[in-house]
Amino acid sequence: MVTGQMATENNSQKKLIALLQLAYSGELAAAHAYRGHWRSVRNAGEKIAIRNIEDDEWRHRKLVGEMLANLGSGPSKRREIRATIIGRALGLMCHITGWLAPMYGAGKLESRNIREYETGARYARDCGRVDLIDCLLEMAEVEWEHELFFRSRVLSHALGRRLSLWPQPPAKETIRLSFKEEPVARSLAEESLHVAARAQSRRDEMFIAPREQDISQAP
């Protein structure tokens, strides 16, 4: 059972690293795209909001990079190059395509990012890296706020209200609530308690039993 558990944890860690590499480069592409986006809009409020979102993407990239290093890994050079090209190209296109298309594309992207970080939190849990969970869920919550902003902007446009939008994410509070209520999370917590109990039992056998034996053999 221990071997099977170790295999599961190793597999989850590999999935977590692959997801974080994707997210790390994705944040780079998004940051470049948003830089072009906020520079292309005329409304001062929208300009500030999108610029703040760009700042969030750079912060997320830093956090994800630290997670990768902590896991003994790093970014994919191929993805980094591709992300730079795509992000800057999208940033330039924002000046050409008009107002609505970048807002729509950004909202759809942020919706995907929510699920990405939620999935990352589950991989972190399954490979025993509980220290990464809170940060991953916090980033999912921030992406939720980004999605809400872009959705609201699309719906403020007459044509946008006639478009078929991407599925609306559940309420923000469900990000952490659903994570806590998952049966897998509970079963893993129970397994951790059993592991701790078995470890304590082994320690008792190693340290207490010999002492009792010494006492019984004392003259």
The stretches in the chain having pLDDT less than 70 are: 1-8, 183-219
The whole-number pLDDT of residue 182 equals 82
The CATH number, out of the four listed (3.90.470.20, 3.90.1010.10, 1.20.1260.10, 3.40.50.10800), of the domain defined by the range 2-170: 1.20.1260.10
Burial 176-208 (b: 16+ CB within 10 A, else e): beebeeeeebeebeeeeeeeeeeeeeeeeeeee
The whole-number pLDDT of residue 216 equals 39
The whole-number pLDDT of residue 192 equals 44
The whole-number pLDDT of residue 211 equals 38
The whole-number pLDDT of residue 2 equals 52
The whole-number pLDDT of residue 186 equals 45
Compute the residue count for the chain: 219
The whole-number pLDDT of residue 118 equals 97
Domain residue spans of the chain: 2-170, 182-219
